């Protein structure tokens, strides 16, 4: 995939809101601070002039943000969930927003769920993966910040996360926004996901 043009095209701030257009979408979910916005910047090669906001303060992304790639599709940055330091009311409102988006008319073709490779998957990760399964949304799992994990530990990490979350090892991508590791593999997996759902659409 050659990325010629990327543009922020809009956000959904409230449950029931619609996507800013009709292109197919791939959404990125994960706990706050897992590296979603960094991953999007890396995928889009926007690491110098960032397009998705990155912050060491978790809870930076509060809306469902749409980034258009070429004339082809949207990458969608979701608010991080499960972040304990924002109030329960805010956490609940983000969850409602995410659920409304994923189950509504503007739903994406698939979701890339991110887990920080330095930490064990949390209950909120299990909940999300189960929820995506219940919606029948194709899901890829990305282990972020893999630059922090030694080569020796990678295979056991994959096995552990696979068992923890019930996701096949083949659906997992090891990724680092620091080194760019996994960028091509993830782009290809996203492309496959968009093409797969195109075929379903054509089948009617
Ligand atoms: P919210 O918007 O709060 O939900 O966070 P997010 O998931 O978008 O995370 P963000 O991309 O803002 O990154 C959070 C922190 O992790 C920042 O300090 C990043 O610099 C750091 N980070 C992100 N990706 C990587 C990575 O691949 N490797 C390392 N070492 N650090 C990373
Ligand atoms: Mg973010």
Buried b / exposed e along 93-128 (16+ C-beta atoms within 10 A): bbbebbebbbeeebbbbbbbbbbbbeeebeebbeeb
Nearest to 17 by CA among 80, 104, 108: 104
Measure 154 CA to ligand 1 centroid, in angstroms: 20
**Residues whose beta carbons lie less than 5 angstroms from ion ligand 2:** 36-37, 60-61
pLDDT score of 84 more than 80: no
Give SS3 for 1: coil
For ligand 1, what atom is nearest to the CA of residue 57? 3
Task: Among 87-101, 124-138, 180-194, name the one with the lowest average pLDDT.
Answer: 87-101
- For residue 81, which ligand has an atom nearest its CA? 1
- Per-residue pLDDT tens over the stretch 116-141: 999 999 998 999 999 999 999 999 99
Which of 190, 58, 45 is closest to 111 using CA atoms? 190
Q: How many residues does the chain have?
A: 204
For residue 32, the ligand 1 atom closest to its alpha carbon is: 4
Mean pLDDT for 99-127 is 95
Per-residue model confidence as pLDDT tens digits over 45-68: 766 666 666 655 555 567 899 999
Q: Are 142 and 114 in contact (CB under 8 A)?
A: yes
Structure token digits, residue 105: 């008319």
Residues in contact with ligand 1 (CB, 6 Å cut-off): 30, 32-38, 54-56, 58-61, 80, 144-145, 147-148, 176-178
Ligand that lies nearest to the alpha carbon of residue 174, given by its number in the listed order: 1
* pLDDT exceeds cutoff 60 at 36: yes
Q: What are the tokens at 23? A: 């292109």
With a cut of 60, say whether residue 3 has pLDDT above it.
yes
pLDDT of residue 140: 95
What mean pLDDT comes out for the span 187-191? 93
Structure tokens at 79: 């608010």
């Amino acid at each position: 995939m050659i990325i010629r043009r990327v543009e922020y095209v809009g956000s959904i701030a409230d449950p029931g809101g619609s996507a800013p257009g009709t292109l197919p979408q791939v959404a990125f979910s994960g706990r706050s601070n897992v590296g979603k916005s960094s991953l999007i910047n890396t995928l889009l090669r926007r690491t110098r002039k960032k397009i998705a906001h990155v912050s060491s303060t978790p809870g930076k992304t509060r809306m469902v943000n749409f980034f258009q790639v070429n004339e082809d599709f949207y990458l969608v940055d979701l608010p991080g969930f499960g972040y304990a330091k924002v109030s329960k009311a805010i956490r609940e409102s983000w969850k409602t927003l995410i659920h409304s988006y994923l189950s509504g008319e503007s739903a994406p073709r698939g979701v890339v769920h991110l887990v920080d490779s330095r930490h064990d998957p949390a209950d909120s990760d299990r909940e999300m993966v189960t929820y995506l399964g219940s919606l029948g949304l194709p899901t890829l799992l990305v282990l972020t910040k893999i630059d922090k994990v030694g080569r020796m530990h990678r295979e056991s990490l994959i096995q552990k996360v696979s068992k923890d979350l019930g996701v096949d090892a083949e659906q997992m991508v090891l990724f680092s926004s620091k080194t760019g590791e996994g960028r091509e593999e993830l782009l290809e997996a996203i492309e496959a996901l968009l093409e797969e759902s195109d075929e379903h659409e054509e089948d009617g």
